[in-house]
Chain A
């Protein structure tokens, strides 16, 4: 029965010392960034009803959910994402609250990932949701905040790619094909499998939309991408495409703010979570092969819970940022205490009193658990602690190590 008593389940880990310090540092940095901009913290339950996530727009694969049942046999899941629970809260307890609502979270999410592939099932995410505000102003607030996150917690050469859900949608509508084929195309683009994509498209003839989808893999880079897309769509002079002009607008503004060196436009950006309706973005840092930040506008999601609120937000993989920080050697180990207090027999609490006083004065100080004065001093020598305070019937003595 006790075979597993000394193990943690596959996909989970204990975080010790440097690892947990690095994670907490990242989380604190992000919380400061969010709080100072008026975002307030929200904590949602780890366990939610399956129904919260059981929607087409969520794109959650059923096999990736950790499920269980409650006492009444109702299906529960460990939350795979924080945005849907927040949408639920926004449409229920926060209904009628003054808008816009600025919320931030920092909590664990759970997903069954492929085994033996080096992934964690339990990961930590921080992020913001800006609810009740549509349009460019809100998008720019979220975007620049995302860039601030990458700059402070990522690497100086970070990249943020931006795309627009409307572009791919408009192409698919123009295809005039079965929903089955559209979802096949969607899957190919999402998994970046462009060779398979070509095979699907070959059956659809040669229209501007087909050509534009075929061009998708090459549709990322700077603002010139938008011109290329317009060409691929064979747009006439004066004709505009809402998604393309919106991206152009956003890009120009980021350029003006001097941020464009970090920004690339990727028109092939599609998300498995397909609740996005407008601007979408993803962040990358060197030293991490995975996406560390991901977000976008989702104007129709909260309506699914009964309250029609436009919204934009993003989530940050804090564990990936922390791991990259560790790899870069950017974590400080905790400082060595400046002093050790030792209370002789009968003076133990006096020693703890002294420790509290010293800590109050700002002196980092450890309580000695050694049995004798000599062993306490020896311990201080081994740990590199310069001063030992010894308390006994004669009072307090200071010993230099």
Chain B
């Protein structure tokens, strides 16, 4: 049987996850010297480095058994897998934000919302019974209200520094976000013991980090 394959989110979360792996006692030398390789041995596991949205895709299809990915991606892409553990890493919030002092809910005009997370934004405004016009933006979403493309943005906010420096403010928090461990449904059934052991170890390591 092949080694358990774990998909890691590249970038900021990657460093924190690798730190957790080290705390778990896994040999991460290959991850530190990865060069351009994308599949790397880590202890008894195989690590795959991918963009967040691809992590959920790989896990959903079962080509990776386990994934470490932000809750923002899980909510936005809404795929089917086990979400088993909150690692408490990369904490931030989904927020509705816009120009400081503007009254977002005032008036009867249909609001324009710029976001990288159209599904999250749609669900949020649906729950409020509001009809809004959503514009998908790929890069710095904060630009949209500054350029008067949109009335507000839905985005993840960690410290709020970018917002403040650009004269924007949080109108409303939508939901808290942090990194989660996800597991493919079939893998969970077929390789339960190995997966349980991994999840328990990483859960424990994450508690030590956050305490």
Chain A interfacial positions (CB closer than 8 Å to B): 114, 117-118, 157, 159, 161, 191-196, 217, 220-221, 264, 266, 284-286, 288-291
Contact = CB atoms under 8 A, between A and B. Distances in A.
Nearest to B176: A199
A291 B1 contact: no
B86 interface: yes
Contact of A192 (B83, B186, B192): B83
B94 interface: no
B16 interface: no
B62 A289 contact: yes
- Report the 8 A-B pairs with minimum CB-CB distance, sorted nearest first: A289-B62, A284-B186, A192-B82, A284-B189, A159-B189, A289-B61, A289-B186, A289-B184
Contacts of A288: 62, 186
Interface in B68-101: 71, 74, 78-84, 86
Given A161-B189, A289-B61, 4 more contacts: A217-B84, A286-B186, A289-B185, A291-B185
5 contacts: A192-B83, A194-B82, A284-B185, A284-B189, A289-B187
Contact of B80 (A157, A191, A221): A191
A159 B190 contact: yes
Interface string B36-71: 000000000000000000000100111100000001
B116 interface: no
A326 to B, nearest CB: 16
A193 B187 contact: no
A117 B57 contact: yes
A247 B184 CA distance: 25
B180 A195 contact: yes
Interface residues of B, number: 24
B94 to A, nearest CB: 13
Contacts of A220: 189, 192
A380 to B, nearest CB: 43
A290 B61 CA distance: 7
A195 B62 contact: no
B190 A221 contact: no
Contact of B83 (A117, A118, A195, A264): A195
B186 A194 contact: no
A159 B192 CA distance: 11
Nearest to B60: A289
A305 B2 CA distance: 48
B156 to A, nearest CB: 17
Contacts of B62: 288-290
Nearest to B80: A191
A194 B81 CA distance: 10
B80 A192 contact: yes
A387 B63 CA distance: 46
Contacts of A290: 62, 185-186
Interface string B153-196: 00000000000000000000000000010001111011010000
Contacts of A192: 80-83, 185
Contacts of B190: 157, 159, 284-286
A207 to B, nearest CB: 23
Nearest to A159: B189
A194 B83 CA distance: 6
A192 B84 CA distance: 8
Nearest to A192: B82
Nearest to A155: B190
Contacts of B83: 192-196
A194 B185 contact: no
B49 to A, nearest CB: 20
Contacts of B192: 220-221, 264
Given A195-B71, A289-B184, A217 B189 contact: no
Contacts of B80: 191-192
B193 to A, nearest CB: 10
A78 B57 CA distance: 27
Nearest to A286: B190
A191 B186 CA distance: 14
Given A118-B61, A289-B61, A217 B186 contact: no
